[in-house]
Structures are given as structure tokens and as C-alpha cells.
Chain A
Amino acid sequence: MARSITTQRKTINTVLAWAIGLLIFFPILWTILTSFKTEAQAINDPPIFLFFDWTLENYSVVQERSNYARFLWNSIFIAGGSTLLGVIIAIPAAWSMAFVPSKRTKDILLWMLSTKMLPAVGVLYPIYLLFIKFGLLDSVLGLTIVIMLINLPIIVWMLYTYFREIPVDILEAARMDGASLKSEILYVLTPMAVPGIASTLLLNFILAWNEAFWTLNLTAAKAGPLTAFIASYSSPEGLFYAKLSAASTMAILPILILGWFSQKQLVRGLTFGAVK
């Protein structure tokens, strides 16, 4: 009896999980479908789901109008660069907070997180002026730095949480064996926290990839990533939904593929330390 209840619950849970998953994925699916419609089909009322004349015209228009490869390269550089840079800075910071905490550690952690509570537009002008001063406007390097700084509190927090799950005795044993601080972090701590570091890398890569405020406000013709590419197809005066959907699909496809192939690591990392 108990077994049948468990099976029933499992079935319900599975159906529920799929239903929620599909619900979350539906807007993305709709965007992909719309990208293959004509502009007239895109606005049809009632909406057309699958039975329409599929066309690649929107993709060809988008390819003709925009330099997709340049936007894609900028996205990869900015998201990859800012994530790597962030992790390099955050690992020693998280190590210190997790294993050598001071009286102020908790305050520092909360203060770091509080910087995320400020609306980005509140610091737009100071950062814009700094970018002018240092010649970083419309540069991939400038954007990489800014996005790294924005995501740094999250990276530190995530790594701190993972590091806290690692028994301090292991690090002490390494020290007794004569490991230097560098060796302790590089050869003892980091390998043990690989799932956590991997999920931190992935999550921050996704966050950096999707960042749209700074990438729109600090770029012009050269450093714009895929978020700027999508923004160039949005219009309040003219129906270009099919083209906008084609641009959006092209922008999200790389990150969707990355997410699909790394979902195991992502889930493993996110649940790391959740169950003892």
C-alpha cells in the first residue's frame, strides 16, 4: 500500500514538475515559433501555434542588417571575462571569510550584498563619467570590469556558502603537512569545491550574458553584446515582432545550449551542501 502511494506521489510530482517546467519554458518556445512566422502571422488573433507557413525570412533580414558575429564575440568576451575575473578575486575573499572570520565578517558580507539593493540607474552618471575619464566608453574591457564588479557580491556569497561546507580540519591537516597559503587554496580547497565553483561560474556567466542595463548604456557601435543586438529590433512604432523574435532566438541560443549541456553541474552545485 505504502509503495503504491509513493508511486502515485512520484507520478504527481513528475507531472507537476513537467507542467511547471513547460510553463516557464513556454515564452521562450513562443519566441522561437514567432521567429519563423511572417509579421502578419506574428500578430494574428487568435494566435497561430504550429500550423503556419514556416519562413526563414526574419533570420535572413536580421543577418543582413546586423553584424551578429561581432555582438556574439562581445557577449562571450564580456560574460566569460567578467566571470573569470570575478572568481579569481572572489576565491581568496571567500576563503578568508569562511576559514579566518573576524568580528566584522558578517557585516562585510551584508554590506557587499547591500550594494545589489541600489537601483543601477542611481550610479549611472558617476560610472559614465568615470568611463569617459578613463577612456573606457564603448570598450569591451570597461564592460567586463563593470559587470564583474556588479556580480562580485553574488560570486563571493556563493563561494562563501560552499566553502563553509568544507571541514576546516582538512585545511588544517594540509597546513600541518607544510602547505603554503597559495597551495592550500589552489591544491586543497579549490579541488574540493569544484562543484560549487563550477555552478558559480555558470550562474554568473548567465547573469553576465543577460545583463542589459550597463551593456546598453555604456556601449555605442563597437562593444555592444547580444543584449544591444536585441534592443535594436524593438520598436514602439511599428510591428516587427517576428524580426525581434528572430534576433532574440539568435541571442539566447548559445546560452540555452550551454545551460542544457551543463545542467547537471549547475544543479549539483546549487544543491551542494543543501543535504548533509
Chain B
Amino acid sequence: MKNLIRTTIGATVMSLLASTALADGHSKTLTIATVNNGDMIRMQKYTDDFTKKTGHKVEWVTLEENVLRQRVTTDITTKGGAFDIMTIGMYETPIWGKNGWLVSLNDLSAEYDAADILPAMKGGLSYEGTMFAAPFYGESSMVMYRSDLMEKAGMKMPDAPTWEFIRKAAAAMTDRDNEINGICLRGKAGWGEGGAFITAMSNSFGARWFDEKWNAQFDTEEWKNTLTFFKGMMTESGPPGYATNGFNENLSLFQQGKCGMWIDATVAASFVTNPKDSTVADKVGFALAPDNGLGKRSNWLWAWALAIPAGTKKEAAAKEFIEWATSKSYIELVAEKEGWANVPPGARTSLYENPNYKDIPFAKMTLDSILSADPDNSTVKPSPYVGVQFAAIPEFAGIATDVSQEFSAAYAGQQTIEEALAKAQALTNDAMEAAGYK
């Protein structure tokens, strides 16, 4: 009898412990910091699918891009542990990976098919061969143009235009009486706003941020040519006040039919072709970002990706979430519920081989743009940094914000291009010297 009681108590305790352990092992609540954009918000809507499959719950912290950057940077540098998964970009990933702040994602399951991730994306989200973040969606930049205005101007947009063609077409499409600006581009200060555009553009003009010894290069003819061309073209054919226009301002102008051309993120293609928001949805064509005959185009490369901070206690569950969110089956889930035009683009090769997706008007140009960007070899002359529209060093964001402020002041006519470049040269060299690069 005693034995029976002992056995019963023992079995009960064991089963209670086992069930607690099982519950602990199988049911976690993940806290995910993410950025507020259409694709990420859509993913939040389908989180139930993940919970149903794995038992894990998800709590979202959605923030504006710049606030998110500050928030997750504070947390990861202090090992705060507030988040189990962070949404970060191509700029942060190699730097944080190098510092040992992120969990390696090289061991994701075979079904996940990591080999299917576009090589440009995988490369940009890795450090020394280790992938530290999985791309949720990727983007490059390309030309979006009004096909009706182009036809009216008697011109035809090539698939791969030059900057000279773009300038001529912009002038021909400009109709000030009807408030149509031939071209809309970012001039707004900020390393991720106008700074990203002008850096990508400068690559096609043969410019670079640094030489091989980390000396600033703003005193070169290439940079002067880039800024002179940009300001000249925008003065002729750009909207008034372009020096303060960023992505949203140009999107608004384009959707209201006030831009002949807009060179910006490929992700904008789904906005400008959406008849619910855009008045020109059925009149938009796409082309590669322009070049200058020097072998480099002016398109950038970016991805919003999911990464796991080192030290999280929920690493296994976090990996399960990343596998779910960046998988082929998630893309199929979105396609089934909301159509192929709304699936997160630019991350997987198989998406661009899918016959259903090939019918989307901007699909091919998005892929071609992504494939033509090379973060390891983005400049005509050799450079010591990785990145197309940025240099993947911790100091870049601060320096580039200051530099872009000088450039915006030059666009607004508050100083000359020569003055802006001289200030950019001085402040960049000072910052690099202070950071110990020289």
C-alpha cells in the first residue's frame, strides 16, 4: 500500500514537472520590435497562424523607423533583453554581428531553404560568412515614370537609362502651368533620406566616401559633378522646395500626378500602382536606376530583416518565428489572402520564379534592380567599406546625417556646392580621426 502511495505521488510529481517543462519548452511569448510599414503590419495580422502552428505567442512593439533604431540600439548595447527578435536593416547587421551581439542564423532548418534567399540579401545580412539576420523583405531603387507623360514628350524610356537621358526627359515632361514636375527626388537631410539617395547616385558618378586609407573624398571632382548635376536637374525640373522632400513627400506628389519620374525604393511600386491611393495607378512604367557609363548604377540595396539578440532566453522559439515569417509558406499565405502584389518582395529567389508573381508589373524590374546592386563592390574606385548607400561602420550614421544637412543647405541655396563639400570633407575627416581610423 505504502509503495502504491509512493509510486502514485512520485508519478504525479514527475508528470507535473514534465508538463511544466513541456509548457516552458513549447509555449513562449516572444516580444518583437518592428518597424511601421505595410508589410510588417500585414505580418502582425497573420501572427495567429504562427501561434497555431507552434503554440508560441507574440507581442509586438511597432515603432517609427528612427525611433526603432534608437530603441533597439540602446537595448542591445546594454544587453537589456527587452526584445527576443529585432527588426534591423543591412546597415546594423554586419556591425552588430561582428560585435557578437546577434545569434547566428546559419543553423536554420533544411525545410527553411536558406539557399533560396537572394545572394545579395544574404551577403548584406552576413558577416564573414555567418548570416545574422533573415530578410523579411528586400528593396533596391529604380525609376518609376509616367508612361503617358513620357509618350506626350515624344520620348521612350529605355530599360537601363543614363543620367543624361533622365535629365532630358525630365525637362521635356515638366509643365509648370499644370504643376507637373519632370522629376521628384529626395533632398531631405538624414542619412537614410536624401543622404541615401545622393550616396547611391554618387556611385554612378565615380565618387566614393573614403579612399582605401579612410580619407574623406568630398574634395574630388566626382562629388562636385554629382551635386552639380543633381542640383541643376532639380532646379530645372524638380518640385519647389525639393530640399526638404523625402520618401513620403515624393510619394504624395507622384500619387497625385505631379511627378513625371520618381527614382526611389522599389517598395514604392506597389503604392503608386494601387488604384485606391494613386490617381496614376494605370500609367506607371519602371526602369533601372540610371548610370553614367562608368559601370555602376545609382540604385541602392536594403533589407528589413529579423535578428535575435545574443543572450535571449527564447532563442529556439525566436528561430521558429524567423523561419515562419521569412519562409516560402508565409509568402504563399499572404498571396492566398491578399494577392501576389502584396507579398513581401525582394528576399527569395523562388518568388521571382513563380509564374503568378511574374505577372506583377514591377516584379522583374525589382529583381533586376536588386541583382544589379553589389554591397561589396559598390564604387568605381576601390573603397574600404561594405554597403551601397552607406558605409557599414558604426560612425557612418552620425557623419552622414551631418553631411546630408550640408548638402540640403546647398540645394536650398543657403550655401554653394563648393562650401557644402568643403564642410563635408572637414567634418568627415575630423570624425574619422576622432574615431581612430586615421
Binding site for B on A (CB under 8 A): 39-40, 43-45, 65, 124-125, 128-129, 131-132, 137-138, 216-217, 219-222, 224, 228, 231-240
Contact = CB atoms under 8 A, between A and B. Distances in A.
A224 B267 CA distance: 30
Contacts of A224: 61
A40 to B, nearest CB: 5
B99 interface: no
Contacts of B80: 128, 131-132, 137
B248 A231 contact: no
Given A45-B256, A239-B252, A220 B64 contact: no
A231 B64 contact: yes
B248 A221 contact: no
Given A137-B82, A239-B271, 17 more contacts: A128-B78, A132-B79, A132-B81, A216-B63, A216-B67, A220-B83, A224-B61, A231-B64, A232-B62, A234-B64, A234-B67, A235-B248, A237-B247, A238-B36, A238-B37, A238-B38, A239-B252
B277 interface: yes
B354 interface: no
A124 B83 CA distance: 18
Of all A-B residue pairs in the complex, the 4 with the closest CB atoms, nearest first, are A221-B59, A232-B62, A234-B64, A220-B82
B247 A220 contact: no
A217 B78 contact: no
Contact of B78 (A39, A45, A65, A125): A125
Contacts of B251: 238-239
Interface residues of B, number: 43
A221 B32 CA distance: 8
A39 B277 contact: yes
A195 B61 CA distance: 40
A43 B253 CA distance: 9
Contacts of B277: 39-40, 239
B44 interface: yes
A234 B36 contact: yes
A233 B36 contact: yes
B65 interface: yes
B265 interface: yes
Nearest to A234: B64
Contact of A220 (B33, B35, B41, B193): B33
Contact of A240 (B36, B66, B267): B36
B135 to A, nearest CB: 16
A129 B77 CA distance: 10
Contact of A235 (B65, B79, B258): B65
Nearest to A240: B36
A234 B71 CA distance: 15
B255 A216 contact: no
Contacts of A131: 80
Nearest to B190: A236
A217 to B, nearest CB: 6
B60 interface: yes
12 contacts: A44-B256, A45-B252, A137-B81, A220-B83, A228-B61, A233-B36, A234-B64, A236-B193, A236-B247, A238-B38, A238-B251, A239-B255
Nearest to A39: B277
Interface of B: 31, 33, 35-38, 41, 44, 59-67, 70-71, 74-75, 78-83, 192-193, 246-248, 251-252, 255-256, 258, 265, 267, 271, 276-277, 279
A46 B406 CA distance: 31
A43 B257 CA distance: 12
Nearest to B31: A221
A228 B36 CA distance: 12
A216 B71 contact: yes
Nearest to B29: A221
B33 A124 contact: no
A237 B75 CA distance: 24
Nearest to B256: A45
A39 B255 CA distance: 11
Contacts of B256: 43-45
Contacts of A132: 78-81
Given A129-B78, A132-B80, A236-B65, A217 B37 contact: no
Contacts of B79: 132
A233 B44 CA distance: 14
B276 A235 contact: no
Contacts of B193: 236
Interface core residue of B74, B82, B192 (most chain A CB under 10 Å): B82
A189 B417 CA distance: 65
A250 B306 CA distance: 31
Contacts of A237: 37, 65, 247-248, 265, 267
Contacts of A138: 82
A135 to B, nearest CB: 11
A236 B83 contact: no
Contacts of B279: 40
Contacts of A233: 36
Contact of B246 (A39, A220, A232, A236): A236
Contacts of A217: 70-71, 74
B264 to A, nearest CB: 9
Contacts of B37: 235, 237-238
A243 B81 CA distance: 31
A128 B267 contact: no
A232 B255 CA distance: 24
A137 B265 CA distance: 36
A231 B67 contact: yes
A235 B36 contact: yes
Interface core residue of A221, A222, A233, A239 (most chain B CB under 10 Å): A221
